[in-house]
Structure 1
Amino acid sequence: MDSKQVLEMVVKAADGRRAEDITALKVDEISPMADYFVIMTGGSDRQVQAIANAIIEKAHETGLEIGSVEGKNHAKWVLIDLGDVVVHVFREETRQFYNLEKLWSQAPLVNLSEWVSD
């Protein structure tokens, strides 16, 4: 899978678990870390864990290697390293506090409308 296919898989899995405010930043030209950062919000600790689990499950189904998963037990901020796609699943207050969109504001936003239900 190329990084755009991984991005699509992540967005669809997250949307299937009703992740809110899913945002993807194309960071490949400003950081050697990844091609995309995906940022989303879960309404409760349980939902954050469900979103993270759905993404991890889809990654396993597709044979995608998972570099690491951090923060899953605390469910305030779960980071899933999928190589060229790094996923951040936040609780709302934690997302506002760290404000990754502002930190990486020079990265262009990716249009996710075709993968997210209304």
Structure 2
Amino acid sequence: MAESPKKLVKRILEVIDDKIGEDTSVIDLESVSTIADYFVLTNGESLRQTKVLADEIIEQLEEDGIFLRNKEGYQTGKWILLDYGDIVVHIFEKETREFYDLEKIWQDAKIISVTEGKPDTPL
């Protein structure tokens, strides 16, 4: 099932919200990069939770007929990257997220913070 990138981002946000991801944000890269249309960033309270978040996103999207292209960092759980083509999900341990600070690196892009699974600013 092919979904628009915006719908897929919203679906990913629902899954993250269900598994209590923290400090979730979306970086809209459409106008600044060809890497992806969106980055979805979240962090877990522990390494175990980062893996649970990754597992749940993969499982729920597979049930929707959307399959992962690539996964990196799962073994350590400090920074897990899930590549869905137009959307790349970054699941961090809090300290790792603060160290790499992707929001600062991509400051030219539109950054949308998310509260309770719903973007504060519409996608």
What band does the TM-score fall into relative to the shorter chain? over 0.9
Could you tell me which of 26, 30, 40 is aligned with 1:28?
A: 30
TM-score, scaled to structure 1: 0.93
Correspondence for 2:44: 42
Shift of 1:66: 1.1
Shift of 1:69: 0.7
Q: CA RMSD in A?
A: 1.3
Shift of 1:33: 1.1
Correspondence for 2:79: 77
Counterpart CA distance in 2 for 1:33 and 1:39 is: 15
Shift of 1:65: 2.5
Correspondence for 1:104: 106
How far does the alpha carbon of each residue in 1:13-40 deviate from its partner, in whole angstroms, 9 at most, with x for none? 0111110000001001111011100111
Counterpart CA distance in 2 for 1:114 and 1:93 is: 22
- Asked whether the equivalents of residues 27 and 110 of structure 2 are also in contact (C-alpha less than 8 Å), the reply is yes
Aligned length: 116
Could you tell me which amino acid in structure 2 is paired with residue 36 of structure 1?
Y
Counterpart CA distance in 1 for 2:19 and 2:74 is: 16
Q: Which has the higher strand share?
A: 2
Correspondence for 2:12: 10
Shift of 1:115: 3.1
Correspondence for 1:65: 67
Correspondence for 1:51: 53
How far does the alpha carbon of each residue in 1:59-112 deviate from its partner, in whole angstroms, 9 at most, with x for none? 101111211011111100000001111000000110011000000011112364
Shift of 1:113: 4.3
**Greater CA deviation, 24-33 or 107-116?**
107-116
SS of the equivalent of 2:30 reads: coil
Could you tell me which amino acid in structure 2 is paired with residue 74 of structure 1?
T
TM-score, scaled to structure 2: 0.89
Counterpart CA distance in 1 for 2:43 and 2:9 is: 16
Correspondence for 2:121: none
